[in-house]
A = this chain, B = another copy of it.
Amino acid sequence: MRPTIEQVAAHAGVGRSTVSRVVNGSSKVGPKTRLAVQKAIEELRYTPNRAARSLVTRRTDTVALVISESPERVFSDPFFAGAVRGIAAQLTASGKQLLITMARSGSERPALEAYLGGGHVDGVLLLSLHHEDPLPARLGELGVPAVVGGRPLDPALAAHVVDVDNQAGAYLAVRHLIERGRHRIATITGPMDMLVSVHRLGGYRDGLIASGLEESSDLVAGGDFSEQSGAEATRELLARRPDLDAVFAASDLMALGSLRVLREAGRADVAVVGFDDSPFAEQAGLTSVHQPVEDMGREMVRLLLMLIDGGMPSRSVLVLTPHLAIRETS
């Protein structure tokens, strides 16, 4: 049987409250009492019962991470690896537990909402929000602290956001291609129900405009961030505009797919730039926009912890700046 605080108290010859104070790091404990208690804790291998504690403190010391993607996507997109890494690191440091939920089918959604809103977690981190997902707003109503990674389409939907400046990143990529002498630059976008995609497309346009190039809808194809979709989009682009001399893909995976199709088509002359700067990009020698994903995860947690601890303004948006990792494909 696990020892209770009462047993520790008896063992140390002190009162229940004193043990509690030591465990929770209160300063109002005499030095030798504290020592005796610590010894007892050690000897009895005492761990506080989390359930009992959270029953009275109303805190659970767990934070949920909701990723609105299928496990397949989550586990194949290195973006998440970085983010989860950052999140896990920062969270572990604060002694909280991480509960990961992958956005399951729509049918499980109500159960998820009930769970998150049911006081089982102290706060929620949302990643890869789609469309007009009502979850953050719902959490807001319920008073559950939440931080979103990547701005949702409708800014009113989420109060607290950490994001990467996707527009700036895309802009960087396009300007780089232009500096390399490319003029017929195509782009493969992500799903347009995600703001990331909109922003990256915007940055692409800005880049063209800033150089006095005109944009053409011929040079824009849609994908869904997957390798597969990148390959298909590239085939399409190649068919429409055989004269293209560069491709800016809104994700590394799509860039990889693009690269594959270009190679198969014998078009090694076409420069390719991706987005994410994942390990894949590095390995494939792909020039890519580096997102500080790990930092993003870290910042999300930092923000969430502040929210949980009470403070914080009603809204906050933190935008991190990407940079370009230049490699062989451009």
Contact = CB atoms under 8 A, between A and B. Distances in A.
A118 B1 CA distance: 11
A101 B97 CA distance: 9
Size bracket, chain A contacts: 35 or more
Contact of A72 (B99, B117, B118, B279): B279
A201 B99 CA distance: 37
Instruction: State the main secondary structure of chain A at its contact with B.
Output: helix
Interface string A99-112: 11110100010010
Given A55-B52, A99-B98, A72 B76 contact: no
Contacts of A74: 75, 81
Contacts of A134: none
A256 to B, nearest CB: 11
A47 B92 contact: no
Contact of A97 (B54, B99, B108): B99
B60 A88 contact: no
Nearest to A97: B99
Contacts of A49: 55, 119
Nearest to A93: B108
A236 B76 CA distance: 28
Interface in A1-57: 2, 47, 49-52, 54-55
A297 to B, nearest CB: 10
A283 interface: yes
A78 interface: yes
B102 A88 contact: yes
A153 to B, nearest CB: 26
Nearest to A59: B51
Nearest to A48: B118
